[in-house]
Each structure stands twice: as structure tokens, then as C-alpha cells.
Amino acid sequence: MLKLPIYLDNNATTPCDPRVVEAMLPYFTEKFGNASSRTHAFGWEGEEAVEQAREQVARLIGAETKEIVFTSGATEADNLAIKGVYEMYSGKGNHIITVATEHKAVLDTCHHIEKLGGEVTYLPVDREGIIDLAGLEAAIRPGTVLICVMYANNEIGVIQPVREISRIARKHGVLFFADAAQAVGKVPVNVNDPGIDLLAMSAHKLYGPKGVGALYVRRRDPRVRLTAQMDGGGHERGMRSGTLNVPAIAGFGKACEICRTEMETETQRISGLRDRLEGGLLQLEQVYINGSRTHRLPGTTNLSFRGVQSEGLITMINKDIALSSGSACTSASLEPSYVLKALGLDDDLAHSSLRFGVGRFTTENEVDYAIGQLKAGVERLRANSPLWDMYKGAIGAKKG
């Protein structure tokens, strides 16, 4: 039996897998020790849980356990990576290269760097949302200390050519940082192939708890050094002080273990559901897929419905279907998505876009129900839309 509302916003967050919750529970009550308490069994149990999770996270991305630094999430990891590199390598230069479609956690951090006197180059993307590699290489200068390109976009799901980006970074002796919050656990990510120096991830994007994430920091070839952004105790090898959230970290580790063992079969099922969703909605007139259809995450699609305001459509169906018109981090803004604008969409088409995030617990029945509700909603809104009437009139005039 179909249970409403249906959740199709897995890019914003994912529900905790019950197996993750089960792994966390003992560390709230029975094994509640501080992982930094080294003088008794309660602390040893906490430390053991943290180190087991560190190994589980590391295995998912092909890293060494000592290269994993636990944080409160990907936003903190982004800040630690960018600010930490900028300060540590200030003797080499003050120039950072990033992309116009990055998450706000990266863009706002780069704006902060500019206020400190740093220089930032914001690369454009093509209509598919992918950077130009020649443009990236041309932007590198003697004072460039970091290339910052997200692995997969949170709004359109487009995967950047990370292997080629890494090659360019290595060629010029520049560190490469990737925000991989949307990619880790959904597609194979290995920091040694292509060769990523810093990588941010978040538990709640891969069916783990909120409030915990990690930063991968390469230890050799090259050894990456960071200036800590949070002081007070020297936790996490001096990179991130603060009492470790043992229950959440244990859950993060379990979530990574599940992703590592089940990713292949899960990817096939989820990409099939995404294609089913797209196929149903593309039966409508003037519906467009935003971003690359080839280089993208298995569960993400971003569609524009010409002649329809996305907020109106969301309001119409939000009692039954959970969707968003873009990033959860900028959902309060009435401005069209800066990601879609960077792809070259006009304001009207950008305002008509919806992001769909299919996930582990999405079913075929839910997808079919969503297709039916959305098609009915679009047709209803278009029937009362001056924009749609104008568009149809223009098409009719061209045919005449």
C-alpha cells in the first residue's frame, strides 16, 4: 500500500538506514564514554568505535585510516580544506580556482578568502554543467595553491571530469580538493585514482546521521598540511579540536560499510527508477533535463517545465510529494538557481525547474504515483498560465 507523503528529495538529505540506527544506539547509553578518555574502559570503547568507523569511511574511498578527519559535516570539511590550505600555503601563493556551480559552502568560503586578500577564479561551465579543462589549465598561475571542483553537483547531479582535473593539478604542482558530499556512497570514489588531495563528505547524504562528516587529507605524494580552523585540545591529529560525536561517527562508519557492499546493485535499481521518472514526465510538452545525461549521479534529475512556476507546482503537490526547486541550502531565496543560470537557462526556464532525488527506499509505485500527480499538476497550471499561452501563441504563429 502506498504511504504518503512520498520522499523524492534525497539530495537534501537521506533517511537513516535502520541498520545505521542499530549501530549507533549502544553509544548513547551503554557505551557512552568520551573517545579521548584514555584511562578507563568507557573511553576505550568510544575510541574503538571511532577507529572502526574511520576504517569503514577510509575503505569506501580507498584512503588510509589516518587520512580521515571527522568533522560536523561537509560544510565544515569544505571550510577546513579551503581555509586550511590558504593559510598553510600562504608562502607559496594566495590564488584559488573554483567553479561557478559549486555548493554555497565552497563559494561562500571562497568569498571569505577574497575578503582576506586572496584571489579566486570562478570557472564557468558549459550547457551540460561541465568545466572546460583547457580553461582550467589556463587559469593556473605561479601563485595558485588550490583547485577546488566538486565531484558531483547537488542540484543537477553532474559529475565533473575529476581524473583529468587531477592530472592538470599534478602537472602544475597544485593541490586538488573535491567536495564529494553528493558522490560518496552513490558512485565509486577512489582518492588515489584519479588522485585527489582533499575530499569532503557527509554522513546524512548516504543514509547516515546528520551532524557528522569527514575530510580526507592526503598523507603522502604529496603530504598535505592544513592550518586548523578550530582550536582546543588537538583532536583529530590537531586538525579539528572538539569532543568526538561517537554515536554519529559509529553510524557514519556503518553507513559507509553498507554503501561499499551494496552500491553496485543499488545503483542499477536507483538509476532505473530515475529513468522511469524521466520517461513519464518527458511525455509532457516542453520538459527539459538540465545538465549532462551521461555524466551524472544515478538518482538525480533536474527538470524544467516550460510555462510553470516550480514553486506553484511544489505548493500544489507538497502534501503528497516532497520535492525541491534546488539546493536545500538556498531554498529560501526567490532568485532563480545560480547553477541553472550558469548552464545558460533563462529566468523563466530556471524558475520552472524541479530537482528529483531518488534513493534507497524509493519504490516503483512511488515513482509512478509522482509521475501521475506531477503531470496533472503541470497541465492544471499551464491551463491558467499566461506564459504558457504566450508560448503556445508564438508556436502557432510560427506554424502559420
Neighbours of 5 (CB within 10 A): 13
Contact 94, 117 (CB under 8 A): yes
Active-site residue, selected from the candidate residues 16, 148, 259, 329 = 329
DSSP 102-135: S-HHHHHHHHHHHHTT-EEEEE-B-TTS-B-HHH
Q: Identify whether 329 is a catalytic site residue.
A: yes
**Please, how many CA atoms are within 13 Å of residue 116, restricted to the half-sphere of its CB?**
16
* DSSP letter for each residue of 208-263: S-SS-EEEEE--SSSPP----SS-SS-TGGGTS-S---HHHHHHHHHHHHHHHHHH
Identify whether the C-beta of residue 267 lies closer than 8 Å to the C-beta of residue 298: yes
Residue type, 67: E
Question: Using an 8 Å Cβ cutoff, are 297 and 189 in contact?
Answer: no
Q: Are the CB atoms for 252 and 60 separated by under 8 Å?
A: no
Helices (H), the chain: 18-24, 41-61, 74-88, 104-115, 133-139, 162-171, 246-281, 310-317, 338-342, 347-350, 364-383, 386-399
Catalogue the active-site residues. Answer: 329
